[in-house]
Structure 1
């Protein structure tokens, strides 16, 4: 057997004549199996990475949609706030106008009461003097 090995021939476990050392052939076979396993794992990793990318893209689109919706809602709230301030100013000016009108009417009422009192005195004096 050693003579065969010197010439580069080997006999394996099932007594077949080989050109390479059976231990190297076994290591090659194991390496091939490990490479296949590594290739399968790499393909699985690629698939998982692609799935993760798709999910993250979908999530990013959803986040962008929600962000735009939130900005729109925020703008609507600002617009409503400005409208409320405008309405408040209108109401305050109306209150002021009504207050001024009330004061004017009170003054006019007092003036008319004085006139009424004076006229009643004149009438009473006229009736008393007759």
Structure 2
């Protein structure tokens, strides 16, 4: 057996002649199996990574859409607030105009009442003098 070892030949457990030491051959087979298992695990991990990327991309798109919708709603609210403010200013100016008109009409009414009382006085004086 030593003569075979010196020649670089070995016998395995089923007595086959080998050019490689059986322990090294077994370690090589184990290493190959571990490498295959590692490769499978790496493929699974790659698939998980791709799935995560797809999910996060879709989520990012949804977030962006909601963000744009929120900005649109916010702009719409600002526009409505400005419109209300403009309407309020218009109503206040109309109130002011109506108040000025009311004061003018009151003044005119008082003036007409004075004229009426003066004319009534003239009529009373005329009737008394007759």
| TM-score normalised by the chain length of structure 2 | 0.92
1:99 Cα shift? 0.7
Mapped to 1, the partners of 2:76 and 2:117 lie a distance apart of 60
In structure 1, the partner of 2:54 is 54
Mapped to 2, the partners of 1:25 and 1:79 lie a distance apart of 80
The size of the alignment, in residue pairs, is 130
In structure 1, the partner of 2:99 is 99
1:100 Cα shift? 0.4
RMSD of Structure 2 on Structure 1 (CA): 1.3
5 Å-filtered alignment, 1:111-122, equals 111-122=111-122
Mapped to 1, the partners of 2:121 and 2:65 lie a distance apart of 82
5 Å-filtered alignment, 1:1-130, equals 1-130=1-130
1:20 Cα shift? 0.6
Mapped to 1, the partners of 2:75 and 2:14 lie a distance apart of 83
Secondary structure of the 1:20 match is coil
| TM-score normalised by the chain length of structure 1 | 0.92
1:52 Cα shift? 0.8
- Which stretches in structure 2 are left out of the alignment for 5+ residues? none
Secondary structure of the 2:15 match is coil
Mapped to 2, the partners of 1:37 and 1:61 lie a distance apart of 36
